[in-house]
């Protein structure tokens, strides 16, 4: 491709033809502010914060302006600064400016730019505001259009990445809003609760439903026995909320913080991830040997499960019947643990700390309970846990290293990699190989299923048995994969689907990272490294070698996929309307 040369703020820049002025400026180390822009996903020039002067009659949006040979671009003239400030004032004129009580305060892209350009909440464009309401009927996501700036980043990720498309712009002009069809609440749509819309929202227009008050109330109730369990991906990201560098695993500090918050037991969802592998790998082996429904598809991601129920109900028989790890752990806590310690399950409150907003919806499913009790009572996100720690006055960054409680706190390296795309597949393969072949697996790293590609494929020879596997990262990628299976173009034995791009490390409840920062420090790569480093450091890296899980089978479940295991650890799912 031919290069062109242009000048940006007096700097000669050479870029390939077709490059936008915004990207050309980035390459030259020149920052142009953006709000609606997400590289390769939402390049629409909607917010007009990236306007520049090219000598044309009007200022132009750099994110959609192709660089041209000999172009002379100025990004910091008085006219450019005034235009950007005016655009920010216009956004604020139709914005709920309750910043002190907003969960995004100090981590809001609009707030940061207003501070940078000297914009206050009393501006020359104050006047009428679009009539809005708060949609808080979803168990996972709260939408407040009074804080929406119509950047359309949420609609882009919902449609183009997740292939869900339940939100979009409606009405025109001043009355334009982001809404669901017919003004329905998210809870009445095919929303999968993944929270990827929250992850890209620059303001507080989209947030998770906050359940921290429920947790504090349970902790303060002397009649309740409150047990907490954090997911694998939480430890790879929680530190970011306290200024610890991205990609640092904070497992020990997290365990200490949870104990200081007052939980009666601090367990680890990783224990149940190992348990899930024992159930899932043996289920796969049984299906392969007995001619069961194939490909078997993982069932750990609640966003993916709801997507399957709405969009691909014909694949419901392919889903593993295993509950997700935190639901399994909740079920074990309210059965085995309750019996062992003589506690009435009705008095136990199980709190899951998850990287995922869809887990809030999952915990409410009637299919996920036993003897009239939900397996998990409350789900909070990584961000919510961080808020609880801060509110409790805990100096997280300087906490000593702690550990989980015995029995349901032990885990293997195979469990921790559940937090990244390909991890469930790799963990299952480590066990399935030894179950099928009866031989010891020497090389534990299945590199073909690692990485951030939307779809990954591999074929493994298990002592003469050919195992074709695939991994889908995001429900949009899952759509492409399942369409290929439906058409007969592709054939697999085992498929892993994670609802969010990159897996749980990039869940909708993880610490928020702006698109600009993501281009410099990719949280998918850095958090994944923390996960794999923890796996590599574990003394035991195969789920079936977990002594704690072996003890659970010896004392309670007898063996994987036993009648009792199916009664407590397995479930089923039902088709839902395609658009509702």
* Ordered per-residue pLDDT tens for the chain, 580 residues: 689 999 999 999 999 999 999 999 999 999 999 999 999 999 999 999 999 999 999 999 999 999 999 999 999 999 999 999 999 999 999 999 999 999 999 999 999 999 999 998 777 888 888 999 999 999 999 999 999 999 999 999 999 999 999 999 999 998 999 999 999 999 999 999 999 999 999 999 999 999 999 999 999 999 999 999 999 999 999 999 999 999 999 999 999 999 999 999 999 999 999 999 999 999 999 999 999 999 999 999 999 999 999 999 999 999 999 999 999 999 999 999 999 999 999 999 999 999 999 999 999 999 999 889 999 999 999 999 999 999 999 999 999 999 999 989 999 999 999 999 999 999 999 999 999 999 999 999 999 999 999 999 999 998 888 999 999 999 999 999 999 999 999 999 999 999 999 999 999 999 999 999 999 999 999 999 999 999 999 999 999 999 999 999 999 999 999 999 999 999 999 999 987 6
The dotted CATH code for 213-569 is 3.40.50.1780
Looking at the structure, give the CATH architecture of the domain made up of residues 121-208: 2-Layer Sandwich (3.30)
- Fold: same for 3-76 and 121-208: no
- Spatial CA neighbour of 206 closest among 270, 277, 153, 273: 153
Quick check: helix, strand or coil at residue 441? coil
The dotted CATH code for 3-76 is 3.10.20.740
Distance CA 576, CA 19 (A): 44
The predicted model scores a pTM of 0.96
Task: For residue 267, give both structure tokens.
Answer: 């367990």
| Phi, psi of 269, deg, nearest 5 | -60, -20
**Helix locations, 355-490, DSSP H:** 358-363, 382-391, 413-416, 423-437, 475-486
Task: For residue 450, give both structure tokens.
Answer: 């690692």
Q: 183: exposed, middle or buried (C-beta count within 10 Å: 0-12, 13-18, 19+)? A: exposed
∠ CA(183), CA(186), CA(187), 5° rounding?
120
What CA–CA distances, in Å, run from 418 to 79, 154, 448, 513?
A: 51, 26, 16, 22
The residues spanned by each domain of the chain are 3-76, 121-208, 213-569
- Spatial CA neighbour of 7 closest among 18, 17, 21: 21
Distance CA 339, CA 345 (A): 9
Distance CA 474, CA 264 (A): 36
Quick check: helix, strand or coil at residue 281? helix
Is the Cβ–Cβ distance between 483 and 475 less than 8 Å?
no
Catalytic residues: 280, 283, 300, 320, 359, 362, 367, 504
């Amino acid at each position: 491709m031919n290069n062109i040369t242009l000048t940006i703020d007096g700097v000669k820049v050479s870029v390939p033809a077709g490059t936008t002025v915004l990207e050309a400026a980035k390459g030259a180390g020149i920052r142009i502010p953006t709000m609606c822009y997400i590289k390769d996903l939402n390049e629409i020039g909607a917010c007009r914060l990236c306007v520049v002067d090219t000598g044309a009659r009007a200022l132009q949006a750099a994110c959609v302006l192709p660089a041209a040979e000999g172009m002379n671009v100025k990004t910091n003239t008085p006219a450019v600064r005034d235009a950007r400030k005016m655009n920010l004032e216009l956004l604020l004129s139709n914005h709920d400016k309750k910043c002190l009580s907003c969960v995004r305060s100090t981590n809001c892209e609009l707030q940061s730019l207003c501070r940078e350009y000297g914009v206050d909440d009393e501006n020359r464009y104050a006047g009428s505001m679009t009539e809005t309401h708060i949609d808080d009927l979803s168990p996972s996501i709260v939408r407040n259009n009074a804080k929406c700036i119509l950047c359309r980043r949420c609609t882009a990720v919902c449609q183009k990445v997740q292939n869900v498309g339940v939100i979009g712009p409606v009405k025109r002009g001043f009355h334009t809003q982001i809404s669901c069809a017919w003004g329905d609440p998210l809870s009445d749509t095919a929303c999968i609760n993944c929270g990827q819309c929250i992850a890209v929202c620059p303001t507080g227009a989209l947030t998770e439903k906050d359940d921290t008050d429920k947790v504090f109330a349970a902790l303060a109730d002397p009649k309740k026995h409150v047990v907490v369990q954090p997911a694998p991906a939480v430890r790879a990201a929680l530190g970011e909320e306290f200024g610890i560098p991205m990609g640092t695993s904070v497992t020990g500090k997290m365990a200490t913080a949870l104990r200081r918050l007052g939980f009666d037991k601090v367990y680890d969802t990783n224990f149940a991830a190992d348990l899930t592998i024992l159930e899932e790998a043996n289920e796969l082996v049984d299906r392969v040997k007995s001619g069961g429904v194939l490909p078997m598809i993982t069932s750990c991601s609640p966003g993916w499960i709801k997507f399957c129920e709405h969009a691909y109900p014909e694949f419901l028989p392919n889903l593993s019947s295993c509950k997700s790890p935190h639901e399994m752990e909740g079920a074990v806590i309210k059965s085995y643990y309750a019996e062992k310690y003589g506690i009435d399950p009705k008095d136990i409150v199980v709190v899951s700390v998850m990287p995922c907003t869809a887990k809030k919806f999952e915990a409410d499913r009637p299919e996920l309970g036993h003897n009239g009790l939900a397996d998990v009572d409350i789900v909070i996100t990584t961000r919510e846990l961080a808020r609880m720690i801060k509110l409790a006055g805990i100096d997280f960054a300087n906490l000593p290293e702690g550990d989980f409680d015995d029995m349901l706190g032990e885990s293997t390296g195979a469990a921790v990699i559940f937090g990244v795309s390909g991890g469930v597949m790799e963990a299952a393969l480590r066990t399935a190989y030894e179950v099928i072949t009866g031989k010891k697996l020497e090389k534990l790293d299945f590199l073909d299923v690692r990485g951030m590609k939307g779809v990954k494929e591999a074929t493994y020879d298990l002592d003469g048995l050919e195992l074709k596997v695939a991994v889908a990262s995001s429900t949009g990628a899952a759509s492409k994969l399942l369409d290929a299976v439906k058409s007969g173009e592709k054939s697999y034995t085992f498929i892993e689907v994670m609802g969010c791009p990159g897996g749980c490390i990039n869940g909708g409840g993880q610490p928020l990272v702006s698109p600009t920062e993501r281009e410099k420090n990719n949280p998918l790569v850095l958090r994944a490294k923390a996960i794999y480093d923890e796996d590599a450091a574990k003394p035991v890296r195969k789920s079936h070698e977990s002594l704690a899980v072996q003890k659970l089978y010896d004392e309670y479940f007898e063996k994987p996929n036993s009648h009792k295991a199916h009664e407590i650890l397995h479930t089923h799912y039902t088709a839902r309307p395609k658009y509702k």
